[in-house]
Chains A and B, each alone.
Chain A
Amino acid sequence: MTPPSARRHVARLKRAMLRDAVAENLAIIEGLPKRRTHRVPRNSWLWWIPVTVVALGILVGTLKPTAAGRGRPQPDESVATGVAVRQDAERAKPEQLPMLSAPRAVDPATFRLAVRRVVVDPGHGGNDPGAMTRGMREKDLTLDVARRLNAALRAVGFEVVMTREGDETVSLHQRVVAANDAHGDLFLSIHVNSIPTPVRRGVETYVLGTTSDPRVEKLAGAENSGSGYSLADFRRLLEGVLIDVRHDESRRFAQKVQNHMFAALRRSNPELEDRSVKQAPFVVLVGTEMPGVLAEVSCLSNPEDTLLLKDGNYRQSIAEALAAGVRDYAASRERATAVARRGPGAL
């Protein structure tokens, strides 16, 4: 039996909470911010620093001439959002390639502070099998690893958007549009390598950039096949992208992915080479508006790697290593956010 004084106390609490619930609903109806009902910590003004920086960054970003335009706005900058790109794609004649716009150079402060939604891109698919050997096809392997990665990331609280869910043909442009439409915080494209020298094996992670390595050029050519973009298109796009903070963040993300892949897979594959983080002009990394990497998770051209890839446990290890890379990068962003919140002198 609850004492009357306790019942009165609960009734008082309920009345106060009901008032706040009604106030919140009225604020929603009127489109107003929610009424704050708790005491504000004395140092709460510190929270406004990153918020203000982000707001200023967005404002400055919309006013300043971009590096891509070198002082004047580019005609295709207005289609930088995924929605606009899709509308363009819908309007385009069949033989006309949709415009792939270079994302604008942005202030680092405009990047979202937390990593929440990860776009996972299983390479190839449908009519495009990718590399093939001994009855194994790159498109099947990338999808399998992507599904496992999806589960692993969801299990630790990330949202995951897949650019393809099954064995379907998805153009590189559609992948880019899907990633941008999903407003992903990170983009991770999964591929399986095929190296001309079959004894070589290893893992490597790519970020967007130019390359003078003929092998990497060839690899990018193979992965970009069917995109229809010319070298001149790339040069124009890369001018706008390379100075972008996205590139720095992509490099950090790539390094985390590469470290985890190599460390994890070496346990069951002692001959594995760390083929490091490299840069190459992959189409899927050009148009995506978030930090993005392309991971070559094994070598189908190597017989031992092929055997290992047949094993579901090995593919699970690859997925878990990629997930660990995402987690590690996300944690580093959170640490950076915490430092920013503490304000100047925190370090």
Chain B
Amino acid sequence: MTKEKNNALHLGIDLGTSRSSVSASNGQHHVVESYIGWPVDMVARKLIKKPVLFGHEALENRPMLDLHRPLERGLIKEGSEKDELAVRELIRHLISLVEPQSNQKVLAVVGVPAEALRVSKQHLRNAVKGVADALMIVSEPFAVAYGMDALLHTMIIDIGAGTTDFCVMNGRYPTEEDQRTLTNAGDSVDEQLATMLRARVPEAQFSIHMVRSWKEQWSFVGEPPRAVEVTVPVNGKPTVIDITADMRRACESLLPPIVETMLDLVSRVDPEYQEKVRRNVILAGGGSQIPRLSEALEGALADVGGGHVRAVEDPVFAGSKGSLAIALDAPESDWERLPG
């Protein structure tokens, strides 16, 4: 995508709880982990040699940083100036990654978790003030649907880290009634897995970041594709622990609330179109990559007449590409009304 209108750089940004991505009309696209950290003191500043760190670099240096993950649980923390600043810095960083030219106008569409848009839209708007020449905020599932032209009789289930967002596309801009948000998402799987391991092997030493990386490598629902074994220090000695059953239980904890919400939303669709929606369920977000999740959800839909569930091909950039599509389609007259 290289459309340039009046020397403007159009950007689509997916501001996620765990990862944020940017796709630009100059063809660049990048992803960073949604961590922002400021050195805690003079010593840290001297060692790090940067005023602020982002993503993986921030995570690696976390002992020396005041580390923020600004959209934890899908919401910007109300009243937390540091989190508002973190959102602003993160968007600035994403914009800098796509290298806009000095004379180029930056027109950005930022996709945020649906709950953040519903609950803290004013905070979000304040947080992003001044980062671009013009800026529009939309909900992530809408951006995904827009980018895929899936605007009619479709359900988007965006399983992120902090939230799982549902959005039924009925051929109109989604209202609150068309959307739902659950806090059962990637982070809750991590917490469950960590709790189960702590209970089973109390002496094992591991961090939530280790648990998250295990989940990202070996998550699954249904019958285990292989044994999942991890090596962790137990009383200081590296020990192999089989976490297959714990991994399955933690990942499958997502199923009941997602199934319940999916079926509830389907039941609210005009009866004439319910079957079409059931046959058009699209999974997005990092959670969409959990092996056999689509099949498990199709199993649940079988009880109400069957359906088809598919995952987006590019979960990392589906949101930012959708936001970019919105940015490119928005007429210039609209951009003029939307200050950055």
Interface residues of A (CB under 8 A from B): 10, 13-22, 24-26, 28-29, 31, 36-38, 147-148, 150-151, 154-159, 312-313, 315-316
Contact = CB atoms under 8 A, between A and B. Distances in A.
A316 B257 contact: no
A256 B175 CA distance: 35
A196 to B, nearest CB: 31
A15 B202 CA distance: 57
Contacts of A19: 173
Interface in B281-340: 326, 329-330, 334, 337-339
B151 interface: yes
A80 B202 CA distance: 41
B136 A25 contact: yes
B149 A10 contact: yes
Interface residues of B, number: 38
A18 B200 contact: no
Contacts of A315: 199
B172 interface: yes
B184 A29 contact: no
Output the residue of B121, B198, B199 with the most chain A CB within 10 A. Answer: B199
B134 to A, nearest CB: 10
30 contacts: A13-B152, A15-B329, A17-B172, A17-B173, A18-B326, A18-B329, A18-B334, A20-B172, A21-B138, A21-B173, A22-B330, A22-B337, A24-B173, A25-B137, A28-B121, A28-B125, A28-B137, A29-B125, A29-B338, A37-B173, A38-B172, A148-B199, A150-B191, A154-B183, A154-B184, A154-B191, A155-B257, A157-B257, A159-B73, A312-B202
Contact of B172 (A37, A158, A159): A37
A331 to B, nearest CB: 13
Nearest to B177: A38
Output the residue of A21, A26, A158 with the most chain B CB within 10 A. Answer: A21
Interface in B173-194: 173, 175, 177, 182-184, 188, 191-192
B172 A26 contact: no
B2 interface: no
Contacts of A26: 337-338
Given A154-B183, A159-B183, A25 B338 contact: yes
B287 to A, nearest CB: 14
A85 to B, nearest CB: 16
Nearest to B254: A155
B253 interface: yes
A14 B191 contact: no
A199 B236 CA distance: 40
Contact of B173 (A16, A150, A155, A158): A16
A150 B339 CA distance: 41
Given A20-B172, A21-B138, A31 B330 contact: no
Contacts of A158: 183
A151 B193 CA distance: 9
Contacts of B183: 154, 157-159
Given A25-B338, A159-B73, 5 more contacts: A10-B149, A16-B172, A18-B329, A38-B175, A148-B199
A26 B137 CA distance: 10
A13 B172 CA distance: 7
Contacts of A17: 142, 146, 151, 172-173
A38 B168 CA distance: 13
Which 5 pairs show the lowest CB-CB distances between chains A and B? A20-B173, A312-B199, A151-B195, A17-B173, A22-B334
Given A10-B149, A21-B326, A155 B188 contact: yes
B195 A28 contact: no
A33 B210 CA distance: 43
Contacts of B334: 18, 22
Contact of A14 (B198, B200, B202, B329): B329
Contacts of B191: 150-151, 154
A36 to B, nearest CB: 7
Contacts of B199: 148, 312-313, 315-316
B98 to A, nearest CB: 22
A150 B142 CA distance: 31
B171 interface: yes
Nearest to B118: A34
A154 B330 contact: no
Contacts of B202: 312
B247 to A, nearest CB: 15
A109 B334 CA distance: 42
B6 interface: no
A316 B202 CA distance: 14
Contacts of B173: 16-17, 19-21, 24, 37
A136 to B, nearest CB: 14
B207 interface: no
Nearest to B330: A18
A19 B137 CA distance: 13
A22 B109 CA distance: 11
A315 B198 CA distance: 12
